Chain A
Amino acid sequence: MAIGIVGGVLLAVMRLSKNPVTSSIAWFYIWFFRGTPVLVQLIVWFNLGLVFEYINLGPFYKDEWSDFMTPFLTALLGLGLNEAAYMAEICRAGLLSVDEGQTEASHALGMSHAKTLRRIVIPQAMRVIVPPTGNEVINMLKTTSLVSVVQYPELLRAAQDIGQTSGAPAEMLFLAAAWYLLLTSVFSVGQYYLERYYARGSSRSLPATPFQKIKANVLSLSNRSSTTGGTA
């Protein structure tokens, strides 16, 4: 996922670049990785060894493909590169949502392109980027179950294996589902706080965190009880 997000930001900036070469490279990448199913990509990565027997990065690295392309690396590359293509489009929408006047004002102050992007444009784009990214993260988490096809022992596969040996396959599948739910819930909470952080300045007052809401309720309750106590 980290590969996906970093790659996505890079691709989005490349696509919006004035240089026609960089923007078409990005366009091509997105076209390819978005246009083919992840499952196919995963299997292709894993089986590239059938086409290229050796991987040869000159003096740095040389090995047989099947040794190099472990299930873990396949999972990482296959999912990461695919995710980058989706994230690129999300980031591009975010960057485009920031008013051009912001870039101009920043340039007029003498800030460089890179600083403008990092300090001014991206923090504002995040407001648009975070919600769909939350979707992507959760989707990604669930997509990891696809990796079982390349023999990587991820959650679903592990559950099935244990289920078979212990003789309780249905229970283990329920357990796996519960784990997915737990993990996605953790991410949802993270997303809430992230959104709240990037919302600063955009609405007149920040929404309260659940914790603050509870605190406020408890306080008002205890106030009420103390006032009633006083009059009684």
Chain B
Amino acid sequence: MTAMVKAEGVHKSFGPVEVLKGIDLEVKSGEVFCLIGPSGSGKSTFLRCINHLEKINAGRLYVDGELVGYRQKGDKLYELKDSEVAVKRRDIGMVFQRFNLFPHMTAVENVMEAPVQVKGVSKSQARTRAQELLDRVGLADKAGNYPSQLSGGQQQRVAIARALAMDPKLMLFDEPTSALDPELVGDVLDVMRDLAESGMTMIVVTHEMGFAREVGDSLVFMDGGVVVESGHPREVLTNPQHERTKSFLSKVL
């Protein structure tokens, strides 16, 4: 299997604060890769580096064998132009903790927007596809609703459909269920489980240990900007090796 994402010594600082202190990891094609860790450990920051919403200060990040926001010439990295970064981002879907649906568009318009604007797909084609995707996340009947007329769980499922509309080869999920009422979490996790079964490569930052255990293929525990422990979810969750992992898991489980 090839690596979909490969991180080599990724460093990231905000001013004087170093948030990522050298992350090395590899996400295989087709796997569900779970990222857990205490608040402030740098999980979101790492995810945002993958699609270049954040610049990295050192190291290399490859998606499907290519650097994301940079071009390498000799030993030096040069940042790509915004338009070039935009092209690379098409292949990387992202789902946010707070959904970030476009409030002035209906559900189906949200899903159509990027294919029409970015790929130049015709409106009628994009609409048909968007309907299919909404159907797939169980919201066929909500196509005409504005985000303000949907529950949190429904909004998050529209957000997943919106990301899928670009046919990404990698999906990033940043705590997709943390902002939801407990009874709405299940629907979203079901959609993600389906997606995993269809063979999508997914990196999931989550506090849902049950989901990580059942669906995850690998799991990484991050703390203080470094990877503390990694392995198969069942092993790490039931038999953690490091003190820090143990104390974190004892708090969340």
Contact = CB atoms under 8 A, between A and B. Distances in A.
Interface of A: 99, 101-102, 104-113, 115, 119-120, 123-124, 198, 200-204
B100 A109 contact: no
B103 interface: yes
Given A110-B87, A110-B89, A112-B82, A200 B117 contact: no
A101 B98 contact: yes
B104 A198 contact: yes
Contact of A113 (B82, B87, B113, B162): B82
A48 B166 CA distance: 57
B53 A109 contact: no
Interface of B: 51, 53, 82-83, 86-87, 89-90, 92-94, 96, 98, 100-106, 113-114, 117-118, 146-149, 159, 162-163, 166
Contacts, number: 75
Which 10 A/B pairs are nearest by Cβ-Cβ distance? A110-B90, A105-B100, A201-B146, A109-B114, A108-B94, A101-B100, A110-B89, A201-B104, A201-B103, A110-B118
A19 to B, nearest CB: 13
Given A119-B117, A201-B148, A203-B148, 5 more contacts: A108-B51, A110-B86, A110-B118, A201-B104, A201-B147
B109 to A, nearest CB: 9
Contact of B86 (A112, A120, A204): A112
A113 B81 CA distance: 11
Contacts of B117: 111, 115, 119
Contacts of B102: 102, 105-106, 120, 124
Contacts of A111: 86, 113-114, 117-118
A104 B87 contact: no
B89 A108 contact: yes
Contacts of B90: 109-110
A108 B163 CA distance: 9
A109 B118 contact: yes
Contacts of A124: 102-104
Looking at A102, A198, A201, A204, which has the most chain B CB atoms within 10 Å of its CB?
A: A201
18 contacts: A101-B96, A104-B96, A105-B101, A108-B93, A108-B94, A109-B162, A109-B166, A110-B89, A111-B86, A115-B117, A119-B117, A124-B102, A124-B104, A200-B104, A200-B146, A201-B147, A202-B104, A204-B148
